[in-house]
Chain A
Amino acid sequence: MQNAILAALCGGITCSIIGVFVITMHLSFIGVCIAHAAFAGALLGIWLGFNPLIGALVFSLASAAIIGPMADRGELNPDTSIGIVFSLMLGLAFLFMGLMPGARTEALSLFWGSILTVSQENLIFLTAVTAVVIGLVAAFHKEIQAVICHRQVALAVGIPATLVFYGLLFSTGVTITASLQSIGGLLIYSLILNPAAAAYQLTYSLRRMLCIAVAFGVVSCWAGLAASYLFDIPSGASIVITSSIIFGLATAFSPKRKLKRWQQAQLAG
């Protein structure tokens, strides 16, 4: 149980931080694609008998490397190309699963997540990834803010914006890989999206958005874990439903939907 609590903490932190960047850059679909690529890579590992983490990492980084230029250059309609990569990865995932001999218990647990039985190796990897992501965000906060808010401007002022952009994409891939076993391939993206989307409703400050997203992510994970433990329901699903409820509440009470004081002052003349 201690491992599960720690995995929930680290997964909640890392996924939420990455989610803030993905939401702000409007790259939600790219993130979904990378998540399914990681899933396919992990299933390949299970099928061929090597560490699924390695398969997930290779596939997620490869898909980020393929999709990145598509979104970057804008030569094709990126949604179309990303959709093709997404469907390819989903197809590969089901192919690898279909080719697996015997019971597919380990593969199926990658679908739903198994935070209560997260392995020591995965936990160490997840903790290390969390530490690295926090470190990178602290070290490069200003560049990240510039790039996620307006990449063309960041390029124009001499920030290495392309490097930062691909760094964020690869960080998304690594985060997804690290969280795959605990949260599950079908649900990981919701944990990335929901807490960040909820925080996006509540503040115009990036620092505060990161803190709020992390708080929501950790609360979602711990609440989902508790529900899973107490009521014997799938942990991944519990986490995602909790984060969705938080998003709903944040949207309903969002200050961004109301007139600001300065707008009221203007109307009052």
Chain B
Amino acid sequence: MDNTVIRIQDAVVSYREDVALQGVSLEVKKGEFIGVIGPNGAGKTTLLTVINGLGKLVQGQAVVLGLPVNGRNGIKLRRRIGYVAQVENIDPRLPINVRETVMVGCYGRLGLFHRPTQAQWEAVDKVLEMVGMAHLSRRPIGHLSGGEYQRVAIARALVQQPEIFLLDEPTASIDPQAQREILSLIQLIHKEYRITTLFVTHDLRQLPSICHRLILMKEGKIWKQGSPESTLQDEILSQLYGAPVSIPSKSTIAY
């Protein structure tokens, strides 16, 4: 039985005159944990947006969870895909708290005209417990540190009961201790739920150790892919980043 959950063929994505992805092809099996690395502007985030239907394909095709990625299926797909972006500035006066923010993850599947049930609120509380944020459930979302916010974002993605987990530089702009905690949490979630995961980072020190495969992107293309052992080599990485790079020692790795 084919357990391919993501199949992208010759995908091209452009933003006006900039071509962000050039003829990218990729297959991902169910339960895989894939690291996507590369310099800024390599097309890593764009690759994730092709998978969840937010990026518009100019050429090529993509089939995710059995559905062709197009305008019609975009919303259906995103309800089954958890997406965590990097930390951004949040207005401290926003009228929404942590618990409500996590519940937003359920709204897509819940649909219009339906209110969250008691069972769903209990599921939210359980996930908050899991990510270590239950004690801050009533805190306004704009009053969290970067690390706390990312825990909430992960919780929000988890309550969706996603079949695919897309993490776009989730540890960027947060302190080293919080980075360690977030990476541990992500690895714990994968061990527990075996969700197909794509983890994007430009910082090699933030690469989870449980990656089954690494995709190296450069200038909108997949430049190389393979096991971490075969791809994480000084010479390969130096070519990827266009500057001398050495593999981080275990002591400098966040997790």
Nearest chain B CB to A25's CB is how many angstroms away?
A: 10
Q: Are B96 and A145 in contact (CB under 8 A)?
A: yes
Q: How many A-B residue pairs have CB under 8 A?
A: 84
Q: Are B112 and A140 in contact (CB under 8 A)?
A: yes
Q: Are B78 and A155 in contact (CB under 8 A)?
A: yes
Residues from chain B with a CB closer than 8 A to the CB of A5 are none
* CB-contact partner of A149 in B77, B80, B141, under 8 A: B141
Q: Are A158 and B112 in contact (CB under 8 A)?
A: no
Q: Say if the beta carbon of B79 comes within 8 Å of chain A.
A: yes
- Which residues 142-172 in A have Cβ within 8 Å of B in the complex? 142-143, 145-146, 149-150, 152-160
A contacts with B: majority SS: helix
* Residue in chain A with minimal CB distance to B85: A152
Nearest chain B CB to A18's CB is how many angstroms away?
A: 15
Interface pick from B31-39, B61-69, B99-107, B169-177: B99-107
Residues from chain A with a CB closer than 8 A to the CB of B243 are none
A145-B100, A146-B104 as given contacts; A156 in contact with B52, CB under 8 Å: yes
* Residue in chain A with minimal CB distance to B100: A145
A146-B104, A149-B96 as given contacts; A157 in contact with B112, CB under 8 Å: no
Separation of A203 and B93 alpha carbons in the complex (Å)? 8
Q: Quick one: which of A145, A200, A205 has the most chain B CB within 10 A?
A: A145
Q: Are B156 and A153 in contact (CB under 8 A)?
A: yes
Separation of A146 and B78 alpha carbons in the complex (Å)? 15
* Residue in chain A with minimal CB distance to B104: A146
Kindly state the interface size class of chain A when it binds its partner: 20 to 34
Separation of A206 and B113 alpha carbons in the complex (Å)? 18
Q: Say if the beta carbon of A231 comes within 8 Å of chain B.
A: no
Q: Say if the beta carbon of A139 comes within 8 Å of chain B.
A: yes
Beta-carbon contacts of A239-259 to B below 8 Å, as 1s and 0s? 000000000000000001000
Residues from chain A with a CB closer than 8 A to the CB of B115 are 142
* Residue in chain B with minimal CB distance to A206: B95
Q: Are B107 and A204 in contact (CB under 8 A)?
A: no
* CB-contact partner of A158 in B76, B96, B139, B143, under 8 A: B76
Q: Are B79 and A157 in contact (CB under 8 A)?
A: yes
Q: Say if the beta carbon of A121 comes within 8 Å of chain B.
A: no
Using a CB–CB distance below 8 Å, which chain A residues touch chain B?
24, 26, 75, 139-140, 142-143, 145-146, 149-150, 152-160, 200-201, 203-206, 209, 256, 260, 262
**Can you list 15 A-B contacts (CB < 8 A)?**
A24-B94, A139-B112, A142-B104, A142-B110, A153-B104, A156-B85, A157-B105, A157-B107, A159-B75, A160-B112, A200-B93, A205-B95, A205-B97, A256-B93, A260-B143
